[in-house]
Amino acid sequence: MNPLHSSLLALQQADSFFPGGAVAWSWGLETLVADGRLGATSAVALARRQRGVPRDRSAQVNGFVEGQLRHRWATFDRVFLSAAWHAADSLQALSTLDARIEALTLAEELRQGSRRLGQSLLGVHVAMGTSGAEAYQQCIASGAAAGHLAVVQGLLWQRLGMDLDHCQLAAAHGLCTGLVSAAVRLGVMGHLDAQRILTDIQPLLLELLAQPVPDLEDASGFTPMAEIAVMRHESQELRLFAN
């Protein structure tokens, strides 16, 4: 495929306008905000709040996004996306990858979110007629696969003809935009702050993508604060997001 065509596909798939369902998920951010755990705690910040100066929490959102990228996406989701991209022609291999994600994701809320997002994305591509989408949807419906997001991304985007590098870039950028979008809707920061974070996070994203994809046996994620927040989310009285 023409590299420019692959780039164009990546832009389309990573666009927040694409109806993949990511807008419904905050990955623990909503609970952290509700608990007051997303904010500066320094003496300077406390003095600013006492004077009535609005708290700028964009630095904390930046840290949250960085943590999700560095300690979850790059070491876990990226691994399975890459493996699914290479195994896109084998339903058995894809379902095996799905099962590994299911076993390695301890928090039920994270498993559920990943499955629902993956199946939502798959449904869009079934409607669009993407090669391989309907067959894997039937595999999920039969109970043979879970439909986790990273596996579905690898399958669909390989079938569309996207380069693996562009698949990884689209997935990582989509995660970042989803998180900062959640922060904006939660009233933590404004749209310009969100764009600054997306700009500031680019060197880290490029650094992570320049590193070799970890082996499947080494796939791991460690974001304990976010995982605890996701597990506690259902106890919140008012909820805007699914997790």
Please report the pLDDT score of residue 191 as a whole number: 92
pLDDT at 55: 55
Q: What is the pTM of this model?
A: 0.89
Closest CA to 31 of 175, 225, 191: 225
Distance in angstroms (rounded) separating the CA atoms of residues 23 and 117: 10
Cα-based distances in Å from 97 to 7, 94, 125, 148: 26, 5, 20, 9
- 90: Cβ contacts below 8 Å, ≥ 6 apart: none
Tokens of 200: 């500031």
The predicted pLDDT at position 93 comes to: 98
Alpha carbons 52 and 239: distance in angstroms, whole number: 27
Domain ranges of the chain: 3-7+22-235
- pLDDT score of 9: 95
Which segments of the chain have a pLDDT < 70? 39-56, 234-240, 242-243
Task: Return contacts of 35-43, CB within 8 angstroms, 24+ apart.
Answer: 35/229, 37/225, 37/229, 38/64, 38/188
CA distances from 2 to 162, 189, 207 (A): 10, 39, 25
CATH T-level assignment (fold) for domain 3-7+22-235 = Urease accessory protein UreF (1.10.4190)
Number of CB atoms found within 10 A of residue 155's CB: 31
Residue 52: per-residue pLDDT: 47
Query: Could you give the maximum distance between any two Cα atoms of the chain, in Å?
Result: 61
Predicted pLDDT at 207: 97
Angle at which helices 224-232 and 108-128 cross, to 10°: 80
